[in-house]
Amino acid sequence: MPQAPPEGVKVRLWDGPVRIVHWLLVALIGFSWWASEDHLDWHQWSGYGVVGLLLFRIYWGFAGGAAGRFASFVRGPRATLAYLKTVSARTPSVTAGHNPLGALSILALLGLLAVQVTTGLFAVDVDAYQGGPLSHMVSFDQGRRLADFHELSFRGLQALVALHVAAVVFYLVWKRTNLIGPMITGFRWLPVDPGLARAPLWRLALGVALAGAIAWFISKGLRL
């Protein structure tokens, strides 16, 4: 009988939807940043893509596979503090999915991203020539304040992304745990197989349809 590698067993951790949404958000946020100055039409369409991805990820956090569900990785203060005490130890992390600190990072990123896209939907530029699809629902002054907050929240999002990347590098260098590979391949070596359940295909199809329809409806200014 072949022996298992020293790392343990190869586990299917992240499903395709989680990985695809993760990397598409990385690409679209970067593209939106680049297009924000001289290509506002592209910036707007990219923002609609982010809205759809964000809506789907929130849905998938309740209806998706076990590893990607919020209930599987969001922990209370006691568990988070207990995990915090182990971070300085130079031992590989064997948490199946997001650890309690990573969970806080994910929630913060999703929350701030929600603020970012929501303010963008209502924002108006200085000459009132161009605005988000929901800018007709607010006054010009309100739209300008939301535009300023849209820019400010992006600075916060940049800081969180930088912190997220620093944490990934820390785990790779100090704790000898590669978090990038599993987010690409979906697989990770763990001491034991946690037996993570997968979501049925119909839930994926439903989530894509709902997120796409809502994002499209928003892009039309909530007008049919």
Residue 1 lies in a domain: no
pLDDT digits (tens, 9 = 90+) for 55-66: 999 999 999 999
**Least confident window among 47-51, 118-122, 148-152, 193-197:** 193-197
Indicate whether 133 belongs to any domain. yes
C-alpha span between 44 and 47 (Å, rounded): 5
CATH of the domain at 128: 1.20.950.20
Look at residue 161 and tell me if it is in a domain: yes
What is the rounded distance in angstroms from the CA atom of residue 120 to the CA atom of residue 51? Answer: 10
Q: Which residue has the higher pLDDT, 180 or 224?
A: 180
CA 11 to chain centroid, in Å, comes to 22
Domain that holds residue 14: 9-219
pLDDT of residue 152 exceeding 70: yes
**Would 119 be classed as within a structural domain?**
yes
Cβ proximity of 28 and 53 under 8 Å: yes
Note whether residue 4 is domain-resident: no
pLDDT at 37: 84
Output the pLDDT for position 127: 76
Q: Tell whether 56 is covered by a domain.
A: yes
Digit-coded pLDDT (tens) for 62-109: 999 999 999 999 999 999 999 999 999 988 888 888 999 999 999 999
Query: Does residue 3 lie in a domain region?
Result: no
pLDDT band, very low/low/confident/very high, at 4 (cuts 50, 70, 90): very low
Q: Do residues 149 and 160 touch, judged by C-beta distance below 8 A?
A: no
What's the CA gap between 110 and 62, in Å, rounded? 14
Can you give the pLDDT at residue 3?
43
Cα separation, 183 vs 16, in Å, equals: 9
Residue 68 belongs to a domain: yes
State how many domains the chain has.
1
Where does the pLDDT of residue 128 fall: very low under 50, low under 70, confident under 90, or very high at 90 and above?
low
At 1, the pLDDT band (50, 70, 90 cuts) reads very low
- pLDDT, the chain, mean: 92
d(C-alpha 108, C-alpha 95), whole Å: 20
Beta strands (DSSP E) in 94-198 are: 187-190
